[in-house]
Structures are given as C-alpha cells and as structure tokens.
Amino acid sequence: MSDDSSANDALGTLRAAIKQAVTDVHEQTPLAQSFTNFVTINLVANAQLAAGGTAAMSYLPDDVIATAEIAGSNYINVGTLLPFFKDALPEIARKLHENGKTWVLDPVAAGIGETRTFILESFRDAPPTIVRGNASEVIALDAMWGLADADSTDPTTRPAGVEAVDEVDAAIDAAKRVARHLAKHSPVGKGAVAVSGAVDLVTDGERTFRLPGGSAMMTKITGAGCSLGGVTATYLAVAEPLVAALAASLLYDRASEIAEVKSDGPGSFQVALLDALWNVTADQVAASDIIETN
Ligand SMILES: Nc1ncnc2c1ncn2[C@@H]1O[C@H](COP(=O)(O)OP(=O)(O)OP(=O)(O)O)[C@@H](O)[C@H]1O
Ligand SMILES: Cc1ncsc1CCO
Ligand SMILES: [Mg+2]
C-alpha cells in the first residue's frame, strides 16, 4: 500500500467502508436478485454465494418486482435476449425506479442490435444505481444515453460483442458522465460505474480509482464480468454504490490472483476462483492497492 499522504485520510475512510461491506455481507448474507444471461447464470449465483450472499434468478416482471421487495439489491444483465425482454426489461426498470430499489446493470454487448439498444436506451430515465461493464460497453452506453458533449467524439469506438476492444482508460470520461447521470436519478442519491479490464476503474463521477492486479485468466472463462456484476449487487445490498463497486472489483482482483496460482487451466481456474471468493478476507480486500486518479 503506498497512498499519497495528502489523500491518506480520505482513502483510509474508504478502506474502512470497504472492509465493513465485506464483513457485513458475510454476517448478513444479503439476497441480491438477478435477471441475467443464460450462459453464465450458474456462475453468477455461485459467486454471490461464495462472496457470502444469496441468489435468486427471476425473469417475469411481476416475479422480479415482488422479489425486489425482499432483496437487498438487484442485478440486470442483457447478455442473452429473448423476445419478451423488450417489454419486460423497460417495465422492470420503471417499477424498480418507482419503488426506490437499487440495481446493478451489466450492459453486455452494448451497441449491438436494435432490441438491445432499445432496452438499454429505455434505462436512461429509470437507470441502475451502478453500471458494471467493460470499457467498450461503458463507452457505448454513454453515447446511447447522449451524455457526451455534442462536440466530443470517439472515433475508435465500435460495438465489440461480449468482449472489450477498448482499453479501460479510453472509458474514463464516459464512466464519469454515466456515474453522474446515475447519481442524479438514484434512490440513494449516489451512483457508481465500474469498468473492468487489466486495471479496473471505479468512479462515482467525483472521485476515480484505478485498481491494478487480477488475472488474465479471467478472460479465459465466461462470466467473470457477469458474476462480478452479481457480486457488486450483493455488496450494494449493504453499502453505498462507490464502496460496493470498489469492494466487488477488489475481491475479484485478489481472488483471481489466488486462483491463477492454484489452477491449471480454465476449468480448474473457475473452481479455484469460487474457492478464493469464499476465502479472501475483508482485511485482504481492504488492504488492496487503490490508486486515486483524476
Ligand atoms: N488482462 C487482465 N488482467 C487482469 N485481470 C483482468 C484482465 N482482464 C479482465 N480482468 C478481470 O476480469 C474480471 C472481468 O472483467 P472483463 O473485463 O473480462 O469483463 P467482461 O468483458 O464483461 O467479461 P464477461 O463478459 O466474459 O463476463 C474483472 O475482475 C477484471 O479485473
Ligand atoms: C458468451 C456470452 N454470450 C452472451 S452473454 C455471454 C456471457 C459473457 O458476457
Ligand atoms: Mg461482460
């Protein structure tokens, strides 16, 4: 840990809140409900359990809205789309908003296809509390919601399937704009954006942090990002958005480092990742490198 001394107090407060969030999840086993893709649904639920929370997967609006009454937070991931999602997801977002419920969005493959674009655009005025995506997805969402200045363009950006083609740093300005937009509409008055990659980036629109570490093996299993979104919702059940996003991303970085050492390829890596999510301590998460940036 090598924090700049002038920033020590603020970072110290944040570390204490991160440690508290990890501890609270283990002590309170909060439920985070997920409406998530069919590729990685099992990993999402298992990762939420391994982090200390509980899971429930729902798809029909009345079921999602009823379950949200007993859940601490919620998670929506648009990775795989079915015809009814086009009506269901805008309705679910609107009702979560009306009912003052917090939720995390993973805008998987943002920018691809009319249906996905329609759904993601509908979230603009009933937005999530946290967006967790890769750089390409966050850049696409910022553009879709029209948050960028009219004169700023990013010619390198294009839809990227479910994998990122953009570097995390290319998404800093977009992430800050999206975070400020989320905060404006948030039921808890605050929002956050987590951009994953080799060095993760987390911002609440005011403060921005780089989180180094993790494992490149995360890109060799499916659902590392999806399950990180689910675990972010687990933490959002007990903590404010910035703390939840930081705690989840840091837990994933520490757990994936341990899993890489213990495993022998993608199959055993996924198993080792679940074990490590379970075994990493609140102190280990809170002691991680956190680099505040502009
Ligand atoms: N090159 C890398 N080195 C270290 N960690 C990485 C690297 N790439 C991704 N990660 C980690 O993997 C996790 C998921 O991030 P990633 O950017 O792969 O999400 P994603 O593209 O949405 O994944 P998916 O869609 O497959 O679920 C994060 O914890 C991130 O820190
Ligand atoms: C592979 C894949 N396809 C749709 S969602 C998903 C999981 C990773 O985002
Ligand atoms: Mg993804």
Q: List pLDDT tens digits, range 232-266.
A: 999 999 999 999 999 999 999 999 999 999 999 99
What is the model's pLDDT at position 162? 75
Residue pair 246/211 in contact by the 8 Å Cβ criterion: yes
Q: Is the ipTM of this complex over 0.95?
A: yes
Residue 122, pLDDT score: 98
Residue 294 lies in a domain: no
Enclosing domain of residue 159: 5-283
In a domain, 19, yes or no: yes
Please check whether residue 178 lies inside any domain of the structure.
Answer: yes
- Spell out which residues line ligand 2, taking CB within 6 angstroms: 37, 39-40, 79-80, 108, 162, 222-223, 226
pLDDT higher than 50, residue 1? no
Q: Per the domain annotation, does 128 fall within a domain? A: yes
pLDDT over 90 (residue 150): no
Q: How many domains does the chain have?
A: 1
Taking the model in full, what pTM does it have?
Answer: 0.95
Looking up residue 213, the CATH number of its domain turns out to be 3.40.1190.20
Q: Is residue 61 part of a domain?
A: yes
- Give the ligand 2 atom nearest the CA of 38: 5
Strand bridging mode 200-203 / 130-134:
unpaired
Structure confidence at residue 188 as a pLDDT band (50, 70, 90): very high
Determine, yes or no, domain membership for 288.
no
Q: How far apart are CA 243 and CA 261, in angstroms?
A: 28
Give whole-number Cα distances, 73 to 57, 84, 100, 186, 259, in Å.
12, 23, 11, 13, 27
Q: Residue 221: its pLDDT value, please? A: 98
289 is a domain residue: no
265 annotated among ligand-binding-site residues: no
Rounded distance from Cα 79 to ligand 2 centre (Å):
5
Q: Please report whether residue 293 resides in a domain.
A: no
SS (H, E, C) 58-116: CCCHHHHHHHHCCCCEEEEECCCCCCCHHHHHHHHHHHHHHCCCCEEEECCCCCCCHHH
pLDDT at 60 over 60: yes
| Residue 132 annotated as part of some ligand binding site | yes
Q: How far is the CA of 58 from the centre of ligand 2 (A)?
A: 18
Is 158 known to sit in a ligand binding site? no
Shortest-distance atom of ligand 1 to CA 200: 31
